[in-house]
A and B are shown apart, each in its own frame.
Chain A
Amino acid sequence: MKKFFTKDIYKQVMKKLSLTALFTLVISVMATIIMIGEQFSGFYGIGSFYYRYNGFTFIGQRGYTAAGIAPVLIFVMYIAPLLFSYLAFKYQNKRSLSDKQHSLPYTMTQQFVSRFLAVITILWAIIIITLITAWIALAAKSAIYQPSYLLLSALGYMAGSALIAAVMSAAMSFTGNLFANITVAGVLLFLPRTILFIIGQSFTGMIGNYVLLNNTNIFLNPASNIPVGILLDISMLWEYRGVSEILTSGSSIIYTLILAAFYFGLGLLLSKKRKSELAGSSFKGNTLKYIFASLIVTPIVAFMAYSLISEFGRSHSLAYIEFKPYIIILAFAIIIFTIVAFLFKIKPKSLLKGLLVFVCVSAISSGILVSGAAIAKAAYLRPVDADKVEYVMIDLSPEKTYRNTPVYTYGMLQAKGVKVYDTELIELLAENTRIQSGIINGTLPTAEYEEYGLFNPNLVWCEFHLKSGRKIVRNVMLNEGENSLNFTNLLLANDEYSEALLKTPDKDELQGYHAGYILNEEKQAIDIVVSTLLDEIKLADSEKRNVMPYYLDMYVSNIYNPYDSYGSVGSIYVYGQTKDGAYSNTFQINNLVPVSKQLFLKSSFIINKDAAQNVYKMILERNDSINYMNIQVWLWDNSTPDAPFSSLIYYSEPEERNTMDPEDMAAMLEAFSKTTADEFDTTDKYAIVNIQINTIDEYYDTDYLDAYIPLTDELYEALMLFAEESMMQPTLPNG
């Protein structure tokens, strides 16, 4: 250990960086406390909420994401390692300081390791102390968050900061001025990932997102490199599931730490060979200057070469290629190269030699990119061999790259963990991968392509687990019609899968829910309705539970339709998070859940009773002050499942196409005003009443009423005399 590390240098560096470290720590801690105190986390507020938005009352709690607990640490992860590494190694940029350090009784290895460890100590201390502070603040606020986020995000930040520190230290170990330090650090950090990213982009995102980058391997997946992955995600060059997922991914943390170790090793090796006389110069010798000036423009040149080759591959003739853009890009790259080379202080007369270096570096990097893309394409765009598959896990969420908005139902989250061994299903999916990869590679016969058709395909995310132990993840495309139907039938015939699809969350698990505006802001009423509904759904058998994934609507006969024969009067929307992801469900309040339905109807009646009475009074006792009035009443006979609800009573002033005269309308409202909530217990019939009323005194103020009214058989029969068939569908009070 003594051979590599000396506490003398370590302590001296810690001392020198202490003030800057303390300043950084104070800012980090204070920013965290303020953000948690203000319940700020990213763009959305945090904490309990109960508010009306767009006609809906939301109740719930928005919890902290991993990155939202201490978002200031994202900035710390990028800036602090650059700053502290520079401060620890900046002696290498000044001749007098460099000579002094080289004269001291320590090896270059001891210098490098001790300084690097001092930087890491400071970085990790800032991260840990900040997160401990966050933990205390979260506890004081009784905030909602996953406790594991604290540890995982700490590891993520520590890995990311270690990588950036290692890159900067390695860069400074063989450069001698600030411009070269930063340039080389940038090349070391970004260039490899840029090449891998371009390779990845060459075969992903095609035809239904057949393969996504984050389902390739640890090298191609941008999320593996935490700092670069986060930047790619934020910049939207690559759509992932957000900063938190990258930060807390175990494989990303390990990969990033290994990468940091690699750069640390590189820096150690280079520092052993470093000469003190390099201080103040960019590089030793002109060749390195030209190499790094070339590497800066490598992404442009390599991508250009790749595009050119791809275009040639498509057209098979140079005559069809438009070269002008390529020439312009190449000229631009050469200009940048020249400027950077001069900034590295090359001798102008050696520029010609430098251009030779530029050509060599560009050729090598283009070769790496093109061959890498070819190899990756061949590997990842192959069809799946059904004979090699042991089982498949199917994720029905259609959107794999959409951020923030949950696209799973609770059941879909549960179902995606089910292992499906059905060989017929596996063969169907594998056959579709053959077609899909054939389309992407351009090898599918034209006749087969035309027969298959790509209009409105469905996408199914499949994890094929091979008998060899390997896993292949593909977004399998199913064309519309028989193919999709066969798939659905086979899938739903799998008891375990279909049972999982129908699972529902407990109320305690939810992060938020709403139950339509008809319940207004009555939190207690909403809570009771939601609890009752969720419990009732769990007790109902699978045939009665109406929770099919929405996207299967396209080709499944069991359509998810609020206006179906089950007599829906409204719905609740719930959402939450499991370890597998975020979910949301909409559950209909209908005849399949009679207790909840009764509760909902009665609650809405009670809540809106006073408002309803006011409206009735306004209409019945009016003194010609009404400017505009519109009454629509849908009559609903719930005793007959197939009874249409297209019986509509319509009344308006000024008159439009009224189905009853004013006296009958008044009598109807009188009758409505005398109904009670308990009548819902004894009748299967009710009216959905929409009233809009606008008075002369308050011309721009319109009163609305949406209500359910219980109807006795007599009242129902009496009102039916005034009802007519209507093509209009009722706007249910839940919006």
Chain B
Amino acid sequence: MIEIKNAVKSFAEYKAIDNISCSIECGSIFGIVGSNGAGKSTLLRMLCGVYSADSGEVMLDGKAVYDNPSAKEDIVFIADTPPVELGITLKNLAKEYAAYYENFDKDEYKTLIKIFSLDESMPLSSYSKGMLRQAMIIIALCCNTKYIVLDETMDGLDAVVRGLVKKKIYARVMDSNTTVIISSHSLRELEDFCDSLILIHKGSVVFERKLDELGSDYVKIQAAFKDDSAVEILKKMPEIIKCKKTGTVYSLTAKGAEEAIVAKLKGLNPLLLDVVPLSLEEIFAFELQELGYAVDIEEDELNSEEK
């Protein structure tokens, strides 16, 4: 288990991580999302012992991570910018990691490079961005550590490869109780991938939730009414935070308990009333908007009609 308690990290006068606390259970896939410059990469590096916290604790199975080989041998870190040295091939890189991590699985490596169709004797500098990411994921999986930390590693992969990677990660988590911590800008990727999620903004945690609990505060409803008189009533409903009209159908997003909101809307005698699932992007956008972060959302009928 990874535990972070009141961790603070600054670079000169800039506070990148401001008093973050969270815990990550073993055998799960943990997602870290946040805006640009929120502190995701910094947090990941603190988890892996690349950065030391200015204050607070970062513990891996009860051991402090920073400058502690016994903790670090359980964790492998793959950065957003892969560490490519001049002339190095995937084969050499694999040998290097095999030397550093005693459980490195060479057979698994051979299997994976065949699956992903990578030429291990080519210099890594001649790989495309996507190929490089694949290579680093292969390395991470073959190290056979308890924890795998991937910093935006899935970005840049095509759909087929992404699917393959996810399959492999799932299998590892299920078979070996490995914990995977992954950051991404693509919320769609994390939506059907992670068990839990943490949203960071300006170095602080906005929320930390299990994925199946996310979105429970919000409900999205599509409704149609006989006439426009319903709009006046909708304006007065404080739970409605967004309303978009397409033809005669209103797409409403509300914050609160689903049953209560549905009951209220039924009172307006809608011609049509359907509860539809919210995407993680929509939840993400609403949460950040509430924090004052400028989010590009569609025109709000209620606001345009001076709710």
Whether A97 is near chain B, meaning CB under 8 Å from some CB there, is yes
Contacts of A104 in B (CB 8 A): 72, 100
Contacts of B159 in A (CB 8 A): none
Query: Given B48, B67, B72, B100, which contacts A8 in the complex, CB threshold below 8 Å?
Result: B100
Number of interface residues of A (CB under 8 A): 23
- Check A276 against B45 for contact (C-beta < 8 Å): yes
Whether B76 is near chain A, meaning CB under 8 Å from some CB there, is yes
Contacts of A184 in B (CB 8 A): none
- Check B101 against A105 for contact (C-beta < 8 Å): yes
- Check A96 against B81 for contact (C-beta < 8 Å): yes
Closest Cβ of chain B: how far from A625's Cβ, in Å? 81
Contacts of B100 in A (CB 8 A): 8, 104-106
Whether B83 is near chain A, meaning CB under 8 Å from some CB there, is yes
Q: In the bound complex, how far is the Cα of B99 from the Cα of A356, in angstroms?
A: 49
Contacts of A285 in B (CB 8 A): 12
Q: In the bound complex, how far is the Cα of B104 from the Cα of A104, in angstroms?
A: 13
- Check A99 against B77 for contact (C-beta < 8 Å): yes
Whether A311 is near chain B, meaning CB under 8 Å from some CB there, is no
- Check B79 against A96 for contact (C-beta < 8 Å): yes
Interface residues of B in 199-213 (CB under 8 A from A): none
| Residue of B with least CB distance to A16 | B85
Interface residues of B in 13-27 (CB under 8 A from A): none
- Check A11 against B83 for contact (C-beta < 8 Å): no
A276 and B67 contact, Cβ closer than 8 Å, known pairs A11-B99, A105-B101: no
Q: In the bound complex, how far is the Cα of B77 from the Cα of A93, in angstroms?
A: 19
Contacts of A12 in B (CB 8 A): 96, 99
- Check B51 against A275 for contact (C-beta < 8 Å): yes
Contacts of B68 in A (CB 8 A): 107
- Check A276 against B101 for contact (C-beta < 8 Å): no
- Check B79 against A99 for contact (C-beta < 8 Å): yes
Interface residues of A in 74-105 (CB under 8 A from B): 94-97, 99-100, 102-105
Whether B50 is near chain A, meaning CB under 8 Å from some CB there, is yes
Contacts of B37 in A (CB 8 A): none
Give the interface centre of A96, A97, A104 by most chain B CB atoms within 10 Å. A104
Query: Given A8, A94, A102, A276, which contacts B99 in the complex, CB threshold below 8 Å?
Result: A8
- Check B85 against A102 for contact (C-beta < 8 Å): no
- Check B69 against A107 for contact (C-beta < 8 Å): yes
Contacts of A272 in B (CB 8 A): 67
- Check A99 against B99 for contact (C-beta < 8 Å): no
Interface residues of B in 83-108 (CB under 8 A from A): 83-85, 96, 99-101
Contacts of B99 in A (CB 8 A): 8, 11-12
A105 and B72 contact, Cβ closer than 8 Å, known pairs A8-B100, A275-B51: yes
Query: Given A11, A96, A97, A108, which contacts B67 in the complex, CB threshold below 8 Å?
Result: A108
Give the interface centre of A103, A272, A275 by most chain B CB atoms within 10 Å. A103
Q: In the bound complex, how far is the Cα of B77 from the Cα of A522, in angstroms?
A: 82
| Residue of B with least CB distance to A90 | B85
| Residue of A with least CB distance to B45 | A99
Whether A110 is near chain B, meaning CB under 8 Å from some CB there, is yes
Whether A385 is near chain B, meaning CB under 8 Å from some CB there, is no
Contacts of B48 in A (CB 8 A): 103
Q: Mark A106-121, 1 if CB is under 8 A from B, else 0.
A: 1110100000000000
**For the complex, would chain A's binding face be called helix, strand, loop or mixed by DSSP majority?**
helix
Whether A277 is near chain B, meaning CB under 8 Å from some CB there, is yes
Give the interface centre of A8, A110, A272, A277 by most chain B CB atoms within 10 Å. A277
Contacts of B163 in A (CB 8 A): none
**For the complex, would chain B's binding face be called helix, strand, loop or mixed by DSSP majority?**
loop
- Check A277 against B11 for contact (C-beta < 8 Å): yes
Q: Mark B171-188, 1 if CB is under 8 A from A, else 0.
A: 000000000000000000
Whether B49 is near chain A, meaning CB under 8 Å from some CB there, is yes
- Check B72 against A103 for contact (C-beta < 8 Å): yes
Contacts of A94 in B (CB 8 A): 83
Closest Cβ of chain A: how far from B127's Cβ, in Å? 15
Contacts of B77 in A (CB 8 A): 99-100, 103
- Check A100 against B52 for contact (C-beta < 8 Å): no
A276 and B73 contact, Cβ closer than 8 Å, known pairs A96-B81, A107-B67: no
A105 and B83 contact, Cβ closer than 8 Å, known pairs A12-B96, A99-B45, A99-B50: no
Contacts of B76 in A (CB 8 A): 103
Closest Cβ of chain B: how far from A84's Cβ, in Å? 16
Contacts of A107 in B (CB 8 A): 67-69
A105 and B73 contact, Cβ closer than 8 Å, known pairs A97-B83, A97-B85: yes
Give the interface centre of A102, A106, A108, A285 by most chain B CB atoms within 10 Å. A102
A96 and B69 contact, Cβ closer than 8 Å, known pairs A8-B99, A11-B99, A103-B77: no
Q: In the bound complex, how far is the Cα of B68 from the Cα of A105, in angstroms?
A: 7
A110 and B69 contact, Cβ closer than 8 Å, known pairs A11-B99, A277-B11: yes
Q: In the bound complex, how far is the Cα of B73 from the Cα of A102, in angstroms?
A: 12
Q: In the bound complex, how far is the Cα of B99 from the Cα of A107, in angstroms?
A: 15
Interface residues of B in 40-64 (CB under 8 A from A): 45, 48-52
Contacts of A100 in B (CB 8 A): 77, 79, 83
- Check A99 against B101 for contact (C-beta < 8 Å): no
Closest Cβ of chain A: how far from B165's Cβ, in Å? 20
Whether B270 is near chain A, meaning CB under 8 Å from some CB there, is no
Q: In the bound complex, how far is the Cα of B75 from the Cα of A108, in angstroms?
A: 17
- Check A103 against B96 for contact (C-beta < 8 Å): no
Whether B82 is near chain A, meaning CB under 8 Å from some CB there, is yes
- Check A106 against B83 for contact (C-beta < 8 Å): no
- Check A95 against B81 for contact (C-beta < 8 Å): yes
| Residue of A with least CB distance to B65 | A103
Contacts of B81 in A (CB 8 A): 95-96
| Residue of B with least CB distance to A19 | B87
Contacts of B101 in A (CB 8 A): 105
Q: In the bound complex, how far is the Cα of B187 from the Cα of A673, in angstroms?
A: 119
| Residue of B with least CB distance to A108 | B67
Q: In the bound complex, how far is the Cα of B101 from the Cα of A12, in angstroms?
A: 13
- Check B83 against A96 for contact (C-beta < 8 Å): yes
Q: In the bound complex, how far is the Cα of B50 from the Cα of A275, in angstroms?
A: 8
Closest Cβ of chain A: how far from B194's Cβ, in Å? 22
A103 and B85 contact, Cβ closer than 8 Å, known pairs A8-B99, A96-B79: no
Q: In the bound complex, how far is the Cα of B79 from the Cα of A650, in angstroms?
A: 101
Contacts of A96 in B (CB 8 A): 79, 81-84
- Check A103 against B50 for contact (C-beta < 8 Å): yes
Contacts of B52 in A (CB 8 A): 275
Give the interface centre of A105, A107, A277 by most chain B CB atoms within 10 Å. A105
Closest Cβ of chain A: how far from B8's Cβ, in Å? 15
Q: Mark A276-303, 1 if CB is under 8 A from B, else 0.
A: 1100000001000000000000000000
Closest Cβ of chain A: how far from B76's Cβ, in Å? 7
Q: In the bound complex, how far is the Cα of B160 from the Cα of A549, in angstroms?
A: 95
- Check B50 against A102 for contact (C-beta < 8 Å): yes
Contacts of B79 in A (CB 8 A): 96, 99-100
Q: In the bound complex, how far is the Cα of B51 from the Cα of A275, in angstroms?
A: 7
Interface residues of B in 124-152 (CB under 8 A from A): none
Contacts of A8 in B (CB 8 A): 99-100
Give the interface centre of B11, B77, B83, B84 by most chain A CB atoms within 10 Å. B83
Contacts of B69 in A (CB 8 A): 105-107, 110
Q: In the bound complex, how far is the Cα of B75 from the Cα of A105, in angstroms?
A: 8
| Residue of A with least CB distance to B16 | A277
| Residue of A with least CB distance to B99 | A8
Interface residues of B in 207-249 (CB under 8 A from A): none
Q: In the bound complex, how far is the Cα of B50 from the Cα of A102, in angstroms?
A: 5
Closest 9 CB pairs of A and B: A105-B73, A103-B77, A105-B72, A100-B83, A96-B83, A105-B69, A102-B50, A96-B81, A103-B48
Q: A12-B99, A99-B77 provided; 20 other pairs, C-beta below 8 A?
A: A8-B100, A12-B96, A96-B79, A97-B85, A99-B45, A100-B79, A102-B49, A102-B51, A103-B49, A103-B75, A103-B76, A103-B77, A104-B72, A105-B69, A105-B70, A107-B67, A107-B69, A110-B69, A275-B51, A285-B12
- By a beta-carbon cutoff of 8 Å, the part of chain B in contact with chain A is 11-12, 45, 48-52, 67-70, 72-73, 75-77, 79, 81-85, 96, 99-101
Question: Would you list 10 pairs from A and B whose C-beta atoms are within 8 A, ordered by A residue?
Answer: A12-B96, A95-B81, A99-B77, A102-B49, A107-B67, A107-B68, A110-B69, A276-B51, A277-B51, A285-B12
